[in-house]
C-alpha cells in the first residue's frame, strides 16, 4: 500500500483534560501554560506532520504537534501510514507471501512441507507488534528532539500580530507559523458508509477470518495489495474497476505484464464497470453492477472499497478562519506550501497530488527548512511509485506514452528478469526493467519495473534521475554480480542496443 497519509480518525470526543498531553506512550516533557508560544505548530502527526515537526525542531525552532489519531483506544502518532496503512499492510503482505511460498514454491527448492496452516490471530498480532514498534519510535523522536505533543484536534482560532492562536486539543496556544498536515481518509461509495461487511483499508487489515468470497472495488494500489493478501490466504477475489483499463498510470508494458501475472494467480478482474446497488446483511454484501451493458449481481462475504481518498479538513476551523479550499476540499497552496492565510502552510495528502507517504515526508522537510531560512525543495518529477504486490511494481518519471505525448523523441531499453542470474537462483524470474530516455540527449525520462524486489531497485533509478543522468551513466555504472540490480544496468544499456546478456 503505497501510499497513504492521514493525521487522524478525527474522533468526536476525548477523555483528556484540556491541559493533558499525550498518553504515557507519547511523552512530550511537560504540561503547558494556557498560552504557551511556539515557532511552529503542526496539526497532524502522519508522515507529513511528524517529519515537519522533527525537522523544525532540529533546526532550532520551538515546535509542537497536535494529532488526533487513535488506535486501539490509545493516541498513536504516525497517521494512517504507520497505524493502518503502509506499515501494517506490508507486514500482512509479507506474512501472506511466506505462506504462499511454503505452499506452492518450497517443493521446487527441495523443501517438502506438509500440514501448513495459518493462525490468523498470530499474523494479526505480529502486524500490530510491528506497528507498535514504529509508532512508539515516533514518540521517542519527539521526546529526543523536544517536540511538544498534544492529543486531540487542532483548530485555527484567530490571527494576531505575532502569529496565530490555535486550539490544540482544548488548550489555546500561540504559534508564529502553523502547518496543516491533517492527511486524508478513505472515500466511501455514495450513500454506502463503511461498516459491517463493507470495509476500507484499516478494516481489511483487521479481518479475523479469511473470507471465502472477497469483493474489491477499485484496482488501484490499495485494492491490489489488500486483494493480494487475502487471495494468498485463501479467498476468492473479484476486483471491480470503473476505469476501462488496468493501471492506467503505469507504463503500458508494465500494466500488461502485471495484469497477466495477477490473472494467473486467480484474481478476477472486471473493467469499465458501473456500480448500481450495494446491499449488505449479516451474511455478506450483494453488489449489482453493469459491465458492457449487462447487469450482474455478485455476492461477497466481505467488500473492500478502495476508490480514493478525501482530505481531512473538517474540524480545522477553515471556514471561520477564511482558509481557502478547492472544490474537492483540498487546502489550496502556492509556492512554498503557503495557503491564502499569512503564516499558515499545508503539506501532504491534504493538499492533493500524489498521496504517498514519502512525498509527504519530503514536503515536511522542505517546509521546515524554508521556515528556518533555508532552501527547501522537492523534485516532484522523480517521486517513485511502488505497488507491493507479487510481483512488485515500481516506477519513476515519465512513461513512454507520456513522453511521446509531450512531443519528446524517445528511445527505450528493456531487460527481463528471466535472463538475470540472481532472479533465476531466487526462483522468481517474472517481469522486467524498462528505461525510457530522450533520443537526443540520452537523459533518462523514466524507469519502470515489475518483478521481485523492484521496490528497492527503483531507488537507484531515482538517484540517477535526480542528478539528470543519462542511460549511459546508469549502464556504465558497475553493478555487483549476481544481483537483481544488474537488470537495471542491462535495461539502461539496452537503450543504445548495448545490452550484453540478451
CB neighbours of 412 closer than 8 A, spacing ≥ 6?
400, 434, 435, 436, 437, 494, 495
| DSSP state letter for 330 | P
**Cβ atoms < 10 Å from Cβ of 235:** 22
Distance between CA 356 and CA 347 in Å, rounded?
A: 12
Among candidate residues 104, 377, 481, 501, the one labeled active-site is 481
Distance between CA 5 and CA 221 in Å, rounded?
A: 14
Is residue 172 exposed (0-12), middle (13-18) or buried (19+ Cβ within 10 Å)? middle
The HSE-up count of residue 162 (CA atoms within 13 Å, CB side) is 7
Distance between CA 502 and CA 491 in Å, rounded?
A: 10
Backbone angles phi, psi at 297, to 5 degrees: -120, 130
Q: What is the DSSP pairing of strand 148-151 with strand 63-67? A: parallel
Looking up cell 479469511 gives: 210
Tell me, rounded to whole angstroms, the distance of Cα 109 from its chain centroid: 34
Distance between CA 286 and CA 289 in Å, rounded?
A: 10
CB neighbours of 312 closer than 8 A, spacing ≥ 6?
6, 7, 8, 10, 44, 182, 183, 184, 185, 349, 350
Q: Which three cell numbers stand for residue 65?
A: 504537534
Q: Are 80 and 6 in contact (CB under 8 A)?
A: yes
Distance between CA 444 and CA 230 in Å, rounded?
A: 37
Cα 85 to Cα 2, 89, 91, 95, distances in angstroms: 8, 6, 10, 16
Cα 196 to Cα 234, 341, 381, distances in angstroms: 21, 41, 41
Whether residue 481 lies in the annotated active site = yes
User: CA-based Rg of the chain, rounded to a whole angstrom?
Assistant: 24
Q: Which three cell numbers stand for residue 208?
A: 479475523
Q: Are 221 and 1 in contact (CB under 8 A)?
A: yes
Q: Are 376 and 366 in contact (CB under 8 A)?
A: yes
Instruction: Just list the catalytic residues.
Output: 481
Amino acid at each position: 500500500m503505497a501510499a497513504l497519509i492521514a493525521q487522524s480518525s478525527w474522533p468526536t470526543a476525548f477523555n483528556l483534560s484540556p491541559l493533558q498531553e499525550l498518553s504515557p506512550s507519547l511523552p512530550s516533557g511537560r504540561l503547558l501554560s494556557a498560552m504557551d508560544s511556539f515557532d511552529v505548530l503542526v496539526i497532524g502527526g502522519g508522515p507529513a506532520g511528524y517529519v515537519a515537526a522533527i525537522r523544525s525542531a532540529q533546526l532550532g525552532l520551538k515546535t509542537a504537534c497536535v494529532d488526533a489519531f487513535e488506535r486501539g483506544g490509545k493516541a498513536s502518532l504516525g497517521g494512517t501510514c504507520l497505524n493502518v496503512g503502509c506499515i501494517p499492510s506490508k507486514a500482512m503482505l509479507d506474512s501472506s507471501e511466506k505462506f504462499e511460498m511454503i505452499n506452492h514454491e518450497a517443493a521446487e527448492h527441495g523443501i517438502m512441507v506438509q500440514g501448513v496452516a495459518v493462525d490468523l490471530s498470530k499474523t494479526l498480532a505480529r502486524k500490530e507488534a510491528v506497528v507498535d514498534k514504529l509508532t512508539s519510535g515516533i514518540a521517542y523522536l519527539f521526546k529526543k528532539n523536544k517536540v511538544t505533543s498534544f492529543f486531540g484536534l487542532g483548530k485555527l482560532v484567530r490571527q494576531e500580530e505575532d502569529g496565530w492562536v490555535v486550539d490544540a486539543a482544548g488548550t489555546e496556544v500561540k504559534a508564529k507559523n502553523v502547518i496543516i498536515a491533517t492527511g486524508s481518509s478513505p472515500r466511501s461509495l455514495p450513500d454506502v458508509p463503511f461498516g459491517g461487511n463493507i470495509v476500507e483499508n484499516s478494516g481489511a487489515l483487521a479481518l479475523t477470518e479469511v473470507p471465502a468470497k472477497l469483493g474489491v472495488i477499485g484496482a488501484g494500489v490499495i485494492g491490489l495489495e489488500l486483494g493480494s493478501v487475502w487471495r494468498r490466504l485463501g479467498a476468492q477475489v473479484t476486483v471491480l474497476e470503473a476505469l476501462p483499463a488496468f493501471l492506467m498510470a503505469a507504463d503500458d508494458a508494465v500494466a500488461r505484464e502485471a495484469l497477466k501475472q495477477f490473472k494467473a494467480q486467480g484474481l478476477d478482474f472486471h473493467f469499465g464497470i458501473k456500480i448500481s446497488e450495494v446491499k449488505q446483511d449479516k451474511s455478506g454484501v450483494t453488489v449489482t453492477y453493469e459491465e458492457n451493458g449487462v447487469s450482474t449481481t455478485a455476492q461477497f462475504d466481505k467488500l473492500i472499497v478502495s476508490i480514493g481518498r478525501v482530505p481531512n479538513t473538517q474540524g480545522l476551523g477553515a471556514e471561520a478562519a477564511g482558509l481557502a479550499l478547492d472544490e474537492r476540499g483540498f487546502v489550496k497552496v502556492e509556492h512554498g506550501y503557503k495557503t491564502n492565510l499569512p503564516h499558515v502552510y499545508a503539506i501532504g495528502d491534504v493538499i492533493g497530488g500524489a498521496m504517498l507517504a514519502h512525498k509527504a515526508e519530503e514536503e515536511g522537510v522542505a517546509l521546515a527548512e524554508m521556515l528556518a531560512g533555508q532552501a527547501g525543495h522537492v523534485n516532484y518529477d522523480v517521486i517513485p511509485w511502488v505497488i507491493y504486490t507479487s510481483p512488485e511494481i515500481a516506477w519513476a518519471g515519465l512513461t513512454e506514452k507520456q513522453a511521446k505525448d509531450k512531443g519528446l523523441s524517445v528511445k527505450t531499453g528493456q531487460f527481463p528478469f528471466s535472463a538475470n542470474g540472481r532472479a533465476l537462483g531466487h526462483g522468481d524470474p517474472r517481469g522486467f526493467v524498462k528505461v525510457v530516455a530522450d533520443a537526443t540527449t540520452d537523459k533518462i525520462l523514466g524507469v519502470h519495473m515489475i518483478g521481485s524486489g523492484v521496490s528497492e531497485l527503483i531507488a537507484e533509478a531515482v538517484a540517477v534521475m535526480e542528478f539528470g543522468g543519462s542511460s549511459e551513466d546508469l549502464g556504465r555504472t558497475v553493478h555487483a554480480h549476481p544481483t537483481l540490480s544488474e537488470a537495471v544496468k542491462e535495461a539502461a544499456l539496452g537503450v543504445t542496443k548495448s545490452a550484453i546478456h540478451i
